[in-house]
A = this chain, B = another copy of it.
C-alpha cells in the first residue's frame, strides 16, 4: 500500500464513518478527523485516493465519496474492521482443560468460525470461541450450547472472568478471579447466590479470559 500515513488515516476514517452513519463524511468532516485545517488539502488527498483506486468521487456532490472494492476488500482482511471472524476451537466441558490455541494460530486452519462485530469483540489479540457442553457451567450463568468468547492469556487481573483449570479437582471452571494473597485465590461465581471457592495459586491454571458469552435460541 503506497499511501501516506495521512491518506491511510483518511481512508480509515471514511470506512468507520460510513459504517457508523450509513453515509460518507463531508470534506470538512474528514478534515476535522484528520486534523487538516484546509478543505483544499482534504480535496487534494481524496483525489490521490481516487487516482489510486481506493475511492470514487462524484464531482460537486455533497458526500460524493464511495469506497471502492479495493477498500472494502482490505476492510474484510483487516482485523480492526467491523466484522471479526472468531474461530470456534472446540468445546468447553468441566472435566477437561480448555483447548488452548497455539500462538499465533492462523484463522485459515480453523474449520468453524463465528462472525461477530466490534460492538461485541472490542479486545485485540488472539480471540477464539468455545462451545459449552453440559450444564456444569451454570454457576457462571453459562448454559449448554452457549458460545464463550475467549481471549488467550495466562495471567488474570482481579475481576476478570476466567476459564481456570483446577489441577487437583481435574475440573475447568468459569469464575471471576481475585488474588487475595500469594497463597490464596478467590474464584467468585457470577451467580451472586453462590459462594466463592478458594484455591492455592499452584492448583490453578488460567487458560483464558472470557470476554463475551453468546446464547442463541
Question: Which residues does A use to contact B, with CB under 8 Å?
Answer: 18, 21-24, 26, 56, 58, 62-67, 69, 71-73, 76-79, 81-83, 114-120, 135, 138, 141-143, 160-161, 190-193, 210-217
**Residues on B with beta carbons closer than 8 Å to the beta carbon of A210:** 217
Cα distance A211–B116 in the bound complex, in angstroms: 16
Q: How many copies of the polypeptide does the oligomer hold?
A: 2
Closest B residue, CB atoms, query A114 = B119
A81 to chain B, nearest CB (A): 4
Cα distance A63–B18 in the bound complex, in angstroms: 12
A23 to chain B, nearest CB (A): 5
A76 to chain B, nearest CB (A): 7
Cα distance A212–B83 in the bound complex, in angstroms: 18
A49 to chain B, nearest CB (A): 14
Among candidates B66, B135, B161, residue contacting A23 with C-beta atoms closer than 8 Å: B66
Contact in complex: A77, B73 (CB < 8 Å): no
Contact in complex: A79, B76 (CB < 8 Å): yes
Cα distance A211–B217 in the bound complex, in angstroms: 5
Starting from the known contacts A23-B66, A138-B141, 16 additional A-B residue pairs (CB-CB under 8 Å) come to: A21-B66, A23-B63, A23-B64, A63-B63, A76-B77, A81-B83, A81-B115, A82-B115, A115-B117, A115-B118, A116-B116, A116-B120, A211-B217, A212-B217, A213-B213, A213-B217
